[in-house]
Amino acid sequence: MQLQNHHSGLIYAMVLAAAADGQVRESELWTIDETMMVLPIFKDFQRANFGAIAGACVELLSEEDGIDAAIGLIQGSLPPRLYATAYALACDVVAVDGIATQEELRLLEMMRHQLDIDRLTAAAIERGAAARFARLPDNI
């Protein structure tokens, strides 16, 4: 199996991040939708294709070694200069609810290794996502 284009690869990265802990939250879906609306990399993406792409990704996750296969598809669909973009989008989806589960952190680690993103770059991307989605405590 092969993904059609870079849009599919970037969407797989976000859907993987959303599904990593076993439940896709509304805030994660909203972040994915908003990302596709505002980022220049998605300017020529046909939004009507999102459901089919996301569904295929979720279906793949139900297979044995589905996460590894999905990350391999991400890597195969993107030019190397977009690997950090895929990682950043996944980090944004993980960061949106303010809590990174062990499953989400493990997924990010797997993505970082397979996409060959060095630790310094990964740390900068992760810190940027945390800063973008920072919240004040409820008691302030």
Domains of the chain listed by start with CATH number: 6-132 (1.10.3680.10)
Could you tell me which of 18, 16, 32 has the C-alpha nearest to residue 110?
Answer: 16
Q: What pLDDT sits at residue 140?
A: 60
Q: What pLDDT sits at residue 99?
A: 86
- 19, 99, 113, 47 alpha-carbon torsion, rounded to 10°: 40
Q: What pLDDT sits at residue 137?
A: 78
Token couple for 33: 């939708």
Q: What pLDDT sits at residue 1?
A: 76
Low pLDDT (below 50) residues in the chain: none
Q: How far is C-alpha 128 from the chain's CA centre?
A: 15
Could you tell me which of 127, 81, 95 has the C-alpha nearest to residue 28?
Answer: 95
Q: What pLDDT sits at residue 15?
A: 97
